[in-house]
Amino acid sequence: MHSSQHWRFQPKGYWVSVYRTISDPEKLAAYNKLAGPAVKAGGGRTLVRGGRVVAHDAGIAERTVLIEFDSFEQAVAAYESAAYQEALVALSDGVERDFRLVEGID
C-alpha cells in the first residue's frame, strides 16, 4: 500500500492539445479511433475534448483536448507508447496543433 500513497502525492501529468487547423477530418477521425484506447491503456483520463472555447489574447477558439495522467512520467510514457505512435501516423498531416506534455503543481 505504500507505493500507492507515494503516487498520490506526485504531481500529475497532462497532455494539452490545441488544434490550430483541421485540414483532413478523416485523418482526425482515424487518429481518434486509435488514440482513445492508447490513452486509456496509458492511464490517461480525458477531461476536455472539443467542448466550447472562448479564446483570449493570442488564443484560437478551435478544438482543445486536455488529458490527465497520475504523473508526468506516465504522460510521457503514454505518448511514447507504440499504440499512441500508431495513432500519430494515422493523423499525419491532417491537422496543425500545439501539443504539450506538462507537469501539474502537485
Q: Are 104 and 45 in contact (CB under 8 A)?
A: no
- Taking each continuous run of H as one helix and of E as one strand, the counts in the chain are 4, 4
The percent of residues in the chain predicted with pLDDT above 90, rounded, is 84
Q: What is the pLDDT of residues 32-84, one digit of tens each?
A: 999 999 999 999 999 999 899 999 999 888 999 999 999 999 999 999 999 99
Given a cut of 60, is residue 7 above it in pLDDT? no
Starting at the edge strand that comes first in sequence, how are the strands of the sheet with 95-103 ordered? 45-49, 64-69, 13-22, 95-103
Q: What are the structural domains of the chain?
A: 2-103 (3.30.70.100)
pLDDT band of residue 9 (cuts 50, 70, 90) is confident
